[in-house]
Amino acid sequence: MEKRKLKVEDLFELASVASPKISPDGQEAVFVKTQMNEEENKYVANLFHVDLETNEVSQWTYGNERVSSPAWSSDGKQIAFLSNRDEKNQVYILPRRGGEAKKVTDFGQGVSSFVWSPCGKKIWVNASVKEGQSFTDKEEKNEKKKPEPYRVTKMKYQMDGVGLIPQDSYRHIGIVDIESGDVTQITEGNHQYSLMAVSHSGDNIVFGVNRAENQDYEFRQPLYLADVHSKEETALIDEEGYYGGVAFSNDDQYIAFVGADRTFQNATQSELYVYDRENKSRTCLTENLDAPVGDSVVADLQQGTSAPSVVWTETNDLYFRLSTMGDVRLYYASLEGAIYPASPENEHIYDYEVSRDGEFAVVAVSNAINPGELYKQTIATGERQVLTAFNKEYIEQVELVEPEAIVYQGAKGWDVHGWLMKPVGYEEGEKYPLIVEIHGGPAAMYANTFFHELQLLAAQGYGVLYVNPRGSHGYSQEHVNAVRGDYGGGDYEDIIAGLDYAIEHNDWIDTERLGVTGGSYGGFMTNWIVGHTNRFKAAVTQRSISNWISFFGVSDIGYYFNEWQHGADMNDVETLWNFSPLKYAKNIETPLLILHSENDLRCPMEQAEQLYITLKSMGKETELVRFPDADHNLSRTGLPNLRIARLNEITGWFEKYL
C-alpha cells in the first residue's frame, strides 16, 4: 500500500498515551489516552485499563472532558483520578469492579493534586483556598460582576498560563474522608504549600513550602517531613533551588527526591537525592552522572504525562529518567551506588511506572517515527511486549521520515549533536530546500522523539535540520551552561556550523533555498540569525524575544532571567541592548513572519510588536500574526484550531519564499 503524506490536520488523528499506573498486585494497569477534538476545539482524555497478563485493553471512562493523574488505592480496589467534567478539576473514585465514578471533592477552586492515604478511606489533597475561606467555599456566580482594579505590590504578580496571580489565594493541604465527604485543612497561613508524598504508614507527609514574606527574589522551595499527628517538621533540604518529586521507600526509611540548586541558576542540572531518616543524612546518587535527571525534551504531541520523578521497588532499588545525548532513558540506581541505564538508546521514555517487585516496567515510548505507545518491559532482559496500538494504523498509512543523527564540530571545537531529515519523496540527484529548526529553553533539547511539526515540514518537501547547540540539556553541565552571558555567540556559531556541515555532506541541499524558524529562545535565535546573516531566504520567528531591555519589565520572569542569563539588569542597559536582536533590525533582509500569542506573559506580545513595527518602518518584508486566547505554550497545548492555524502560517510562509 502506498503511504500518504503527513498533513497539518493529522494532529486530530494522533493519540497521546500516558500516565501508566500499575496496580499493587502487578497484574493490571490504568492509563490515560488524550486526543484533540476538532468539532469541540478541545482536548479529550479518558481512562483506560490494560490486563498485564492478557494485554487486553478496555476503556473505562467515556466523558468528553479531561481525565488526569490516575492512582490506585493501596488495596487495588479503587482508582482515583482528576477530572474537569464540572469545569474545575475535582477528585473522582472509580471502583475496580466497575460502576459509576464517585465525585469526592467539590472545591471552589478545584484540586491541584492528590495522594491516597494508605488506609484507602481518605484522600490527601492540594488545592487553592481564598484567605479566610475553606476548600469548599465557592464564589457567587454573578454574570454582571463589575471589573475591579488589581493593586500590584510585588514583582511576581503575573504568570504565563495563569495571568494575574490571585493576591488572596493560597495553596493548602487537606484530607478528605471519602465516605462522609468531610474535609480537614492541615496547613495554614498565607503560604503556597505543595503536597509531595504520604508515607506508607500514613504517619508522615512531605511538602514543599517557602514561608518568606517577600517572594520576589526567592528562588527556592525547601522540603519538609511532617508528622501527621504532632505536626512536627524536619527539613529534608532547605537550600537555594527547587526540589520535589518525592517518594518514600516501601519501608519508609528513605525518602528520594529530585532537584537542582542554583550554582548555574536555571541551567543547573537536576540530581537525584536520598534522605536517610535514621541518621538524618542526605546523599546525591547521581553526582557522577553529567546529565540532568528528568525529561528535558521539547516536542509537540505528548499530552497528560504524569511521570514520577523516582520510583522505589520493595527491595529499595530506585528507577528514574535521565536526559542524555538526545535520549530520555530509564535508569536504575541502588543505595550502594550502582547506577546504569535500564532502557535502550535512540528513544524517548516520556512516562513510566515500575512494578513494586522491580520485575517489570510499563513504559510510554516514542521515537522519531513512532508517536508513542505503552510497552511492558521486563527489567532483567529488556524484552518488551506491546500493550497499546492506538497509533499503529496511522504509522502504517503515513510516510514518516527517519532522521539521520549527525555530530559535528561547533564553536571552540566542541562536538555538537543533531539530526537531519530528508524530504518525503526524496530522489537522488534532485535539489531540495532546507529548514533549520531551533528549540526553546535554551536549557532543553531536541530528542529521538516524534515531532509532528518536523515531520510536516519534511512531508511538504523540505529537508529539516535540528541540533542541540550549547545551552541545550543532555550533554554535560558545561554544555548547558555555556550559553549564559554569550547569547548569539557560541550558540549561533554551533547552529551555523551545523548548517555548513549538512551542506558539505549532502549535495541535495539547495543553498539558495534555506529557511529558519524557532520559538521562545529559538525565536530569539531566529531574530538574531537574520540580523547577522543573509544566507536564509525565509524565516518564521515564534513567541520570540527582540528586546531584552523591555523584556526585563514585561516578562513574568524578566527581572531575574536577564541577570541569570546575561549578567545584566537595568543598571547595564548597554549589555542588554547588545544582546537584543532589535538592535540589528536594520541588517535584516530576510522575509520574516512573526507569530505571537496575545496572552504570552513569558515573551510578551510587545516583543513581537516592537520587531514588526521597526521592520515595517524600515521597509522590510515582514508580517505579524497574532493568536488570541493563546499563551507561550500555543504549539504544545494551545486550542486545536489555533495550533492548526499556526502550522498553516509556517508552511505557507516557507512555500511563498522557498
DSSP labels for 62-103?
--SSBEEEEEE-TTSSEEEEEE-TTSS-EEEEEETT--PPEE
Residue 591: is the preceding peptide bond cis (ω within 30°)?
no
Sign of the dihedral through C-alpha 425, 426, 428, 434:
positive
Q: Any idea which residue has 520559538 for its cell? A: 519
Residue 604 sits at φ, ψ, to 5 deg, of: -60, 160
Sign of the dihedral through C-alpha 482, 487, 489, 491:
positive
**How far is C-alpha 197 from the chain's CA centre?**
21
d(CA 232, CA 282): 19
Please, which residues have CB within 8 angstroms of residue 375's CB and are 6 or more apart in sequence? 362, 363, 365, 384, 385, 386, 387
**How far is C-alpha 603 from the chain's CA centre?**
17
Helices 452-459 + 640-657 axis angle, to 10: 40
Buried b / exposed e over 438-468, threshold 16 CB at 10 Å, is bbbbbbbbbbbbbbbbbbbbbbbbbbbbbbb
Q: Report the chain's terminal Cα–Cα distance, integer Å.
A: 31
Sign of the dihedral through C-alpha 34, 329, 242, 185:
positive
C-alpha cell at 531: 540580523
- Give the number of other CB atoms < 10 A from CB of residue 503: 17
Contact 613, 607 (CB under 8 A): no
The catalytic residue among 355, 520, 546, 555 is: 520
Buried b / exposed e over 377-386, threshold 16 CB at 10 Å, is bebeeeebee
C-alpha cell at 606: 510587545
Helix/strand/coil for 12: helix
The catalytic residue among 348, 417, 473, 632 is: 632
**Selection from 285, 265, 173, 178 nearest residue 224 by Cα:** 173
d(CA 361, CA 308): 12
Q: Is 472 a catalytic residue?
A: no
Q: Is 309 a catalytic residue?
A: no
Contact 483, 492 (CB under 8 A): no
Q: Any idea which residue has 556559531 for its cell? A: 493
Active site members: 520, 632
